[in-house]
Amino acid sequence: MDLSSRIFVAGHRGLVGAAIVRRLQAAGYQNLVTASRSQVDLRDAIAVDRFFAEYQPDYVFLAAAKVGGIYANDIYPADFIRDNLQIQTNVIDAAYRQGCQKLLFLGSTCIYPKFAPQPMPESCLLTGELEPTNEWYAIAKIAGIKLCQAYRKQYGFNAISLMPTNLYGPEDNFHPENSHVLPALIRRFLEAKEANQAEVVCWGTGSPRREFLYVDDLADACLFLMQTYNEPEIVNVGVGHDISIRELAELVAQTVGYGGAIAWDSSKPDGTPRKLVDVQRLTQLGWTAQTSLELGLRQTLDWFLAHRLQEARL
């Protein structure tokens, strides 16, 4: 992939896609192709075929997906499995048929079994039952991995698959019900601080442990692997260490400046007990994450404050 290559970033307005665009632009890639949903609905196979035929991208970063937290996955299971299957199938198939040189597919560590060994190696895929609270999304992502491997095996299509751990950063979804844990905590503690609330109630027991990767680090890993990796095996992308949700809540409260009490509603689901990925494969390839959780959290908070201020002015 050189600086003149035509590169399609699918999902460029989302958390991951926006970060990939930033990273490519910073590296000097200027021939980027993007499209909003109003321009091409990636769930529509005919529309995707027309788009690829018109723009003929050389490389594709497939970051488009329907994503959400435990609540959203539980309420909209059909949406999560259907939309993601459609997006993946349409883009991967069109990329192959239109002569794309290489495609990078972004999965998720929720593909691994609920009680996978910790840290989770790539080899534990399909070795046990999934976490029920996000199985619809996970099954779709597993299908995407297998689609990439099948197109490589049958057609020789150079499609690689990355499995990022929990992500956060600029352009994240801060919706009060449909967001993931870290942006949800940022919003909850910030609003509690502004309302002078004496207590913030968080879901679950706080005991599960999670790994968090700053999205601009993921974008850097995507560029690195697009340039250097050409194998069928999936690659985990993470930081190699985790933190309990209780510790995370305390860190978010401290960063936001909230001084009240933190309570835990154990009637709400915890989800997977632990999700830490084994990053040995990626480390051996020559890449490691650079952004600490403290720095990434501060930068994410700053983005949310600036974005909220912009919305208020409109």
Q: Has 238 been labeled as part of a binding site?
A: no
* CATH number, domain 7-313, options 3.90.1150.10, 3.40.50.720, 3.30.2290.10, 3.40.50.620: 3.40.50.720
pLDDT averaged per 10 residues, the chain (length 314):
96 96 97 95 98 98 88 88 98 98 96 94 97 91 98 98 96 81 94 97 94 98 98 98 97 97 93 88 98 97 88 49
Q: What is the reported pLDDT for 44?
A: 98
Residues that are catalytic: 137
**Domain range list for the chain:** 7-313
The pTM (predicted TM-score) of the whole model is 0.93
Which residue in 207, 194, 310, 171 sits closest to 256, CA to CA? 194
Collapsing DSSP to helix, strand or coil, 115 comes out as coil
CA–CA separation, 71 and 100 (whole Å): 37
Token pair belonging to 71: 């609540």
Structure tokens of 77? 């299971």
Positive or negative torsion for Cα 33, 36, 38, 42: positive
Q: Confirm or deny that 164 is annotated as ligand binding.
A: yes
Annotated binding residue 3: no
Asked if residue 166 belongs to a known ligand binding site, the reply is yes
Q: What is the dihedral of CA 236, 239, 240, 241, to 10 degrees?
A: -140
Could you tell me the sign of the dihedral formed by the alpha carbons of 191, 192, 194, 195, in that order? positive
CA gap 167, 107 in Å, rounded: 12
